[in-house]
Amino acid sequence: MKKIRVQFLLFVYDKTQKLYRKYFKKKKRQWQFNERQLLEFQEDSLGRKLGEFYHKHGFSMIPKMENHDVHHLITGCGTNFEDEIAMQYLLLGNGKLNAHLLAAIVLGTFILPEYVKIYIKAYKKGQNMREFHQWDFESLLWQNFDHLKDFIQQKDTVILH
């Protein structure tokens, strides 16, 4: 039964992500790198880790959606459907809000409700991270991945003097 539910989500995702890119990402340009070029970055860089991610999973870059894949790396969220939904919850907790994200959360929760505890945990994790959902990660591809990940996973703290 879960297999049928996931197939339905895959169908919906395939149809909606094209519309999302067309209408919500029309001002955004695709990155100037491809998967092979990312593998040429320095070993400990974000760019190299992203290239390895694509290679490991057999994925291709989707134009204008590259930040989404960086979000997987930064957050540690997997790529199966319950993890994709959890990542949307994490991004909501991090401050991201748009119709596509809300639709993914509502539909994903309705179709895969058995993961609701994981979704809530992801939302709280997003709240406890620095706000990163709007960052331009293409300009950070040369940065040390572990340092960048550690920086994002530390919530901003207010220091009163």
> What is the per-residue pLDDT across 114-136, written as a single tens digit (0 to 9) for each?
999 999 999 999 999 999 999 99
**The model's pTM:** 0.87
In this structure, is residue 137 part of a structural domain?
yes
- Answer yes or no: is 27 within a domain: no
Domain annotation covers residue 115: yes
- Does 24 map to a domain? no
On whether residue 83 sits in a domain, the answer given is: yes
Q: What is the percentage of the chain residues whose pLDDT exceeds 70? A: 93
Give the per-residue pLDDT at 160: 63
Give the contacts of 122 (CB within 8 A, at least 6 positions apart). 77, 86, 87, 89, 90, 93
pLDDT tens digit sequence for 66-89: 999 999 999 999 999 999 999 999
- Give the per-residue pLDDT at 28: 79
Asked if the structure places residue 21 within a domain, the reply is: no
| Number of domains composing the chain | 1
Residue type present at position 3: K
- Domain residues for the domain of 143 are 33-153
